[in-house]
């Protein structure tokens, strides 16, 4: 559903559809008189979530400047973590019907904001509406990034001319590096996030805490502590993404997450063997917090940041939708197999398997992912197409970027 709506009708229309489905789902659920009707409401919410996943990364990636794009894309995970904490808090104080009436204010506010939000300049350029593209681009970013605007329009003009002379079918599309490479990268990035522990802790947090820290640990208390830590870590991630390169951050948090999983597996196995001489509760709790920190700072937020950057405009809705399927597959795989894995190979064996799966995914992402921080979406697209800028193009781009700073310095003097 996402590709035709995002590609043909535009990002703004797709946003309206998402909001309409969210509101309809809540209305159906709150008015439900049977379990079957509530399931229908959940299915409607599932449709809205499936459309929202590729849309939110595409919107933020196309609206924002390369200088701040990573920070804005990271706010997706911040908002998600805050929403989970808020719903848990409200749900513990009032009935679920009143909780719905409170949280429904957020999609209503989003609906109001969308009326005043312009269409994506990238989509306008793809549809050949270059005057509207320039107007919206300047409204969003001012006049300081003219090089990216002209580069985007030039690429769309060349793409349109190529479309007239080339036969485009499915096999040709699948052979294009700019189509399949971003999808492969995102599938492995999303799977990395699912195996890192985010999906596991969302469903089995109290069970996992009890198995690692022991029955004496207050699992519900530590679950709340982890929720709070996740929100704080997500806020930290906004700053870190703004300062650190994507590849460096992904490899650092991914590597630390793998090590934390191995450490947890080793601790639990040593505890089973009875070889631990020191069994204070702070040791397993510290290991869990390190794992959750890496999940919140890198493994959950970074895939959404990368997804908003690496897909070429021509295939952004299709590629984003295809790769998003891996989230559902990974979540289903982890949550449905965990009880059987614990029963057969124990918690330590399960964490060792997750560490091995993450190691494989990390190697694939490391070998394929280019550095995207500070680059325009067009430059990233050209990288996957195998295009390189000539020295003259690089010089012109640099002059256009430096021009606002020079004019500002003259005005101040």
| Complete DSSP assignment for 268-335 | HHHHHHT--S---THHHHHHHHHHHHHIIIIITHHHHHHHHHHS-GGGHHHHHHHHHHHHHHHHHHHH
Task: Judge whether 2-127+135-143+153-168 and 177-368 match in fold.
Answer: yes
Identify the CA nearest to 314 among candidates 209, 195, 165, 162: 162
Given the structure tokens 């229908």, which residue do they identify?
40
**What pLDDT was estimated at residue 411?**
54
**Quick one: pLDDT band at residue 391, thresholds 50, 70, 90?**
very low
Is the pLDDT reported for residue 184 higher than 50? yes
Average pLDDT in the chain: 83
Q: What is the DSSP annotation of 321-385? A: HHHHHHHHHHHHHHHHHHHHHHHHHHHHHHHHHHHHHHHHHHHHHHHHPPP-TT--HHHHHHHHH
pTM of the full predicted structure?
A: 0.76
**What pLDDT was estimated at residue 86?**
84
2-127+135-143+153-168 architecture in CATH?
Answer: Up-down Bundle (1.20)
* Mean pLDDT value across residues 30-36: 90
**What pLDDT was estimated at residue 410?**
53
* Mean pLDDT value across residues 29-44: 91
Residues 353, 360: Cα–Cα separation, whole Å: 11
**What pLDDT was estimated at residue 388?**
56
**What pLDDT was estimated at residue 412?**
54
What single-letter DSSP state applies at residue 64? S
> pLDDT tens for residues 80-127?
878 877 887 888 788 888 989 999 999 999 999 999 988 888 888 888
User: What percent of the chain is predicted at pLDDT more than 90?
Assistant: 28
User: 360: phi > 0 → left, psi -120 to 50 → alpha, else beta; which?
Assistant: alpha
* Mean pLDDT value across residues 261-268: 94
Residues 70/241, Cβ–Cβ less than 8 Å: yes
**Quick one: pLDDT band at residue 291, thresholds 50, 70, 90?**
very high
Is the pLDDT reported for residue 392 higher than 50? no
177-368 architecture in CATH?
Answer: Up-down Bundle (1.20)
Can you give the residue ranges of every domain in the chain? 2-127+135-143+153-168, 177-368
């Amino acid at each position: 559903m996402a590709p035709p709506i995002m590609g043909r009708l535009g990002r703004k229309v797709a946003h309206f559809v998402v909001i309409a489905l969210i509101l309809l789902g809540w209305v159906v659920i709150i008015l439900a008189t049977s379990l079957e009707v509530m399931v229908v409401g959940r299915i409607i919410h599932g449709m809205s979530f499936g459309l929202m996943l590729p849309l939110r990364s595409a919107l933020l990636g196309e609206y924002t400047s390369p200088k701040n794009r990573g920070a804005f894309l990271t706010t997706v995970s911040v908002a998600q973590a805050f929403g989970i904490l808020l719903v848990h808090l409200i749900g513990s104080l009032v009935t679920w019907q009143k909780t719905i009436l409170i949280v429904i204010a957020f999609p209503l506010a989003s609906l109001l904001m969308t009326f005043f939000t312009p269409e994506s300049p990238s989509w306008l350029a793809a549809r050949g509406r270059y005057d509207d593209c320039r107007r919206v681009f300047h409204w969003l970013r001012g006049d300081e990034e003219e090089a990216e605007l002209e580069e985007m329009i030039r690429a769309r003009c060349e793409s349109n001319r190529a479309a007239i002379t080339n036969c485009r079918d499915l096999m040709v599309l699948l052979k294009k590096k700019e189509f399949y490479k971003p999808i492969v990268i995102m599938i492995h990035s999303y799977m990395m996030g699912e195996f890192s522990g985010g999906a596991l802790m969302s469903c089995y947090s109290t069970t996992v805490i009890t198995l690692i820290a022991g029955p004496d640990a207050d699992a519900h208390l530590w679950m709340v502590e982890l929720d709070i830590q996740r929100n704080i870590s997500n806020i930290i991630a906004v700053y870190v993404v703004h300062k650190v390169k994507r590849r460096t951050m992904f490899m650092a948090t991914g590597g630390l997450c793998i090590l934390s999983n191995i450490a947890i597996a080793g601790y639990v196995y040593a505890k089973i063997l009875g070889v631990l001489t020191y069994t204070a509760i702070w040791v397993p709790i510290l290991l869990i917090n390190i794992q959750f920190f890496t999940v919140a700072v890198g493994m959950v937020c970074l895939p959404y940041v990368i997804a908003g950057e690496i897909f070429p405009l021509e295939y952004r809705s299709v590629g984003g939708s295809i790769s998003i399927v891996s989230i559902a597959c990974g979540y289903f795989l982890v949550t449905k197999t965990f009880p059987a894995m614990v029963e057969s190979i124990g918690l330590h064996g399960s964490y060792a398997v997750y560490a091995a799966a993450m190691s494989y995914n990390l190697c694939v992402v490391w070998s394929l992912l280019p550095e995207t921080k500070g680059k325009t979406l067009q430059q990233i697209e050209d990288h996957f197409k195998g295009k390189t800028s000539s020295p003259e193009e690089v010089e012109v781009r640099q002059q256009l970027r430096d021009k606002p700073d020079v004019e500002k310095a003259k005005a101040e003097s």
